[in-house]
Structure 1
């Protein structure tokens, strides 16, 4: 699955903090105050709830559940503007058949990294985003150096370090190794993973091992903590005397960054805990800062059941080439199934933008070993044995037969409507369209292609994009006919053939006159049928329909005349939602124009995930946009994406419910001719049918 990015930047501002949406499919949101929730009993009480422990003294107030704390954290992070952008981004990503990746970046607000952001809970949708594969949540470390996937041929190699110094609570080292090895044994036997355990968990042994062999994954099991004075995070390796040697994340990062390691997993007590002093003080962030593209750490203590379920699913997904953020989400789901309370314990720190760590190639086939002869050491003549030669790879499959695709041009865009998409054996999510050797677009059905040529017949090469493979090798050529062109294309004048000197040849007898008449009669019949079809189209097209008594027109994409003074006009959208417009008014004589829309759900069912898009063309600026839900509730401020673009979002709208959209525009006084385009669509509606475009009258 491909993802759109939704990035929130948390920064320190005076004595408090601000949150700012810096990247989303629908644009940024200015900085807004952020006040973190303060649960009763503090974060330790929440951590106990995550582990399923609820030990309370008599008379102690009950701490919030993880869901309650996650909902408070969600409301604090997403105010009305940010929530509107989030909802619109979720809707846009769903329309594109893509996921939405939530990236939280902390800048200098290091204390906020201690919050369990994995507990974010959407109280309106009733879900934890980080439990969903289409909405992974991660902590993003923005560094200037790009991270490219490492090309790997053969299995991924993992270095396992299990440290149990004698001066710390002992770990069952052999049991930990057995659990990990048994859980990953299917991956080892399938040739996707190799495990190697370091005999002595010392930093010197790690350095020497990485010098002589390449590894791709580093897995640490042991103790961790942070310095009380400096707040610097460390891991407890084993020293020469068997006692602990505190190794900082920066020290370990230097060792690991000189190797091909792309993923580090820290299964320690406090490996994911971040200090309030230095943004790179924690072990996990220090490793990322030193060049490790992805680090998974445990922000709470984790049980063996949860740890084994997490490791098994994580490495299964990573060795299959999946993005690491998706792999962590799948692993959280496995923990949720095995141990309901601990799914929020793992934390992902990432600096790879798309989450792809490895570019995996198929492992080479192992060479067959020669069996020894019956008399070892005797000189026995060996007859030549024919060597099996691999058959050449099969040639490309014959191209699929061209399919005729109906298309129409609306506002300079050709829409291709498939009656039935071709079946390629992979789940088709999108199409890659090529014309004349140039990629045109990556689109979903129905297709929309820009830069439309004139009316006529066109040939496109359409390649299906799969779900996991993202691109299949199947392609075909489709012939497109434009049935509703906006402009007529003048046919090029035919060039007369050059004159040649007559050559005396024997003339063949002319064809029978009756045969010529048959062809001529067929041509005239075709011309008459085309003329009748053209006249019928001109008479029945939606733009020629007068506004009836109920004010309805047949096509909302046509221009709607200014409504009469005695009532509003209604534009039929062809789906559930009907847009009506009140007469525009002018306020204050300061070049401000107020437009009000009534967004009415005509039924026959309730609408969900209603997205409203406002775009202005001309010398006009959107100052504010507000949406008043049905029932007269308080108005919600819409998101101003640009000076001429605003978006609104309503989670649901009951049947026969009416919401009011108010748009305040600023333009010259008197206002020039402006084009205001309002698109309102539900999650199950056709966006091409929900357009009300009209011209503001010039006084």
Structure 2
């Protein structure tokens, strides 16, 4: 596949002459058709005060989100962003003949050229260049049709890394327990991200796991569990005010994200701190996604202030994606879905970001420009992902008569009816059944029966600790029969025992969607949530467990185990009074259950 071509544009500033307004220049460093010399750029803004006001107006435009206005006439916010993008585009790409010629010739020569911005004028770096608008092109917003990336020169070479199997993504949500920062709904944040990439996870193209907590120690412990390719952080971030008289180049000591300490209190972790935590993953980590407001913000006149640039300046990361304005949950979900879909299919990272923008645009007409891609890679290819290719359809179908296919199908059904009970026998049966299924893909009964065989095989493999084989069998099972709630529950239990609690919760939620009236499914969800909570519940799972047990009780108030389970969840969350109330109700329903009496004693000891 040929590499994409970039128009690399440097935008800088010169010292004003005789106390006049700030002067800016632009020059094409590289393009498909050559270079362009340094030329003066004329913007309608120049003074820092004007720039700061402009950025505030643009941020307000982004935040004026109307969920009902996805089509039709442009919203006020969209119009403000369009006017800004049009004005900047004219100043750079239309009103400077040398740059205009390069841009137009590049469009004519290459169907796949992108824009790489080297913004040396720090007061301009804080503007949202991702909203550049070319009124002579469709769509007008440039970054919806060709990638726009921000380039940073740092030491060290950047190459691509081979990835065999799924792209491994480590997610982390940090939610301080104090009121200094807005409270996050951790459980809902996890569920929303999981929803966005659920199909990729089940297809085996992505392995997304969560750090069980929000502290630096939690992160570093999780990093020890194999090679991670992407780190995805959700939380709060910002930029410290510059210290008067301080070193203007100390960029990595002002941009920060917010983690928590061992007591759940907020602690600012600057770019250099985060880079130190991630050092152990340097051999495999290629990308950091900072889903927190102001992670890509640059205050007007500040130099290298945000955490994204600070991370890039460490010199070993190929790319960082950050947010220059606050982004809504719906837009963040759409971004994750589109971005990881493209990345797992081996697309260049700038193409993946462009697809993410288009996914966001389906939800919001303004938020698609919020993500900023900082990149050092020369071609955007930071991964070589090798996902297993599906086997081609066998050419044998034409050689089998209808009668022969029916005979083979009958033989398979007879073999299934014999109920084989060993791994070897079931492996042979599912192999032959899968071959037959490729010839009879529209045979619904065959799909259902083969799915049950994979269910039995996966169950046996799990018991014999053949974990990878069991995971594959359960994946085939759901591919063949995705609407059977029992299968979702079975894989949820498998994932829970393996410690993959987020995957387990995703499956049990799917089972609940299929049969929302079934109280047992809510009880299982509560049990998995309690397993995920561990001893300190840094992820907010106990609240999720209590809610799930509550739904189970509402659907069947005469089942004592539901009450006993919620009692244990209350006890683990230190609500002893509610725990004892539920345990007394469970004992009233099952007075002969000695285990319930023992659990009540343990809860009473918590209050002593």
Task: Sort the TM-score into its range (normalised by shorter chain).
Answer: 0.5 to 0.7
Q: Deviations over 1:415-435 (max 9, x none)?
A: xxxxxxxxxxxxxxxxxxxxx
Offset at residue 63 of structure 1 (A): 11
Offset at residue 375 of structure 1 (A): 11
Structure 1 residue 103 corresponds to structure 2 residue 104:
no
Offset at residue 364 of structure 1 (A): 9.9
Q: Match of 1:9? A: 10
CA contact (8 A) 2:32 2:106 kept: yes
The alignment's TM-score, normalised by the length of structure 1, stands at 0.49
- Structure 2 distance, partners of 1:30, 1:171, is 49
Q: 2:132 aligns with which of 120, 124, 129?
A: 120
Offset at residue 387 of structure 1 (A): 12
Q: Look up the SS of the partner of 2:110 in the other structure.
A: helix
Q: Label 1:76 to 1:254 Cα distance change in 2 as closer, same or farther (>3 A).
A: farther
Structure 1 residue 81 corresponds to structure 2 residue 101:
no
Q: Label 1:349 to 1:163 Cα distance change in 2 as closer, same or farther (>3 A).
A: same
Q: Look up the SS of the partner of 1:343 in the other structure.
A: helix
Q: Match of 1:273? A: 297
Q: Look up the SS of the partner of 2:262 in the other structure.
A: coil
- Structure 2 distance, partners of 1:81, 1:75, is 13
- Structure 2 distance, partners of 1:131, 1:183, is 22
Q: Deviations over 1:479-513 (max 9, x none)?
A: xxxxxxxxxxxxxxxxxxxxxxxxxxxxxxxxxxx
Q: Match of 1:188? A: 201
- Structure 2 distance, partners of 1:214, 1:163, is 22
Structure 1 residue 253 corresponds to structure 2 residue 275:
yes
- Structure 2 distance, partners of 1:229, 1:386, is 68
- Structure 2 distance, partners of 1:386, 1:125, is 58
Q: Label 1:258 to 1:275 Cα distance change in 2 as closer, same or farther (>3 A).
A: farther
| Equivalence map 1:115-194=2 (5 Å) | 115-125=127-137, 127-133=139-145, 135-167=146-178, 168-194=181-207
Q: Label 1:123 to 1:103 Cα distance change in 2 as closer, same or farther (>3 A).
A: same
Q: Match of 1:50? A: 62
Offset at residue 144 of structure 1 (A): 3.8
CA contact (8 A) 1:265 1:297 kept: yes
Question: Structure with the greater relative contact order (CA < 8 A, sep ≥ 6): 1 or 2?
Answer: 2
Q: Match of 2:84? A: 69
The alignment's TM-score, normalised by the length of structure 2, stands at 0.56
Please identify which structure carries the higher helix content: 2
Offset at residue 339 of structure 1 (A): 1.1
Q: Deviations over 1:317-352 (max 9, x none)?
A: 001100010011111011112211211111111111
| Equivalence map 1:217-256=2 (5 Å) | 217-230=230-243, 232-256=254-278
CA contact (8 A) 1:5 1:102 kept: yes
Offset at residue 374 of structure 1 (A): 7.2
Q: Match of 2:32? A: 25
Structure 1 residue 200 corresponds to structure 2 residue 217:
no
Q: Match of 1:346? A: 371
Q: Match of 1:209? A: 222
Q: Label 1:253 to 1:280 Cα distance change in 2 as closer, same or farther (>3 A).
A: farther
Q: Deviations over 1:98-131 (max 9, x none)?
A: x111000123x22211010001111233544544
CA contact (8 A) 1:129 1:137 kept: no
Offset at residue 255 of structure 1 (A): 2.8
- Structure 2 distance, partners of 1:62, 1:158, is 34
How many residues align? The count is 366
Q: Match of 1:264? A: 288
- Structure 2 distance, partners of 1:204, 1:10, is 41
Offset at residue 87 of structure 1 (A): 0.4
Larger radius of gyration: 1
Q: Match of 2:387? A: 362
Moved over 6 A (4+): 61-64, 372-376, 385-390
- Structure 1 distance, partners of 2:32, 2:167, is 34
- Structure 1 distance, partners of 2:430, 2:134, is 61
Offset at residue 209 of structure 1 (A): 2.1
Q: Deviations over 1:520-563 (max 9, x none)?
A: xxxxxxxxxxxxxxxxxxxxxxxxxxxxxxxxxxxxxxxxxxxx
Superposition CA RMSD, Å: 3.2
Q: Deviations over 1:291-332 (max 9, x none)?
A: 221111111111111111111000000011000100111110
Structure 1 residue 331 corresponds to structure 2 residue 356:
yes
- Structure 1 distance, partners of 2:431, 2:328, is 52
Please identify which structure carries the higher strand content: 1
Q: 2:332 aligns with which of 303, 307, 321?
A: 307
- Structure 2 distance, partners of 1:258, 1:33, is 45
- Structure 2 distance, partners of 1:89, 1:264, is 31
List runs of 5+ in structure 1 lacking aligned partners: 55-60, 366-371, 377-381, 391-699
Q: Look up the SS of the partner of 2:224 in the other structure.
A: helix
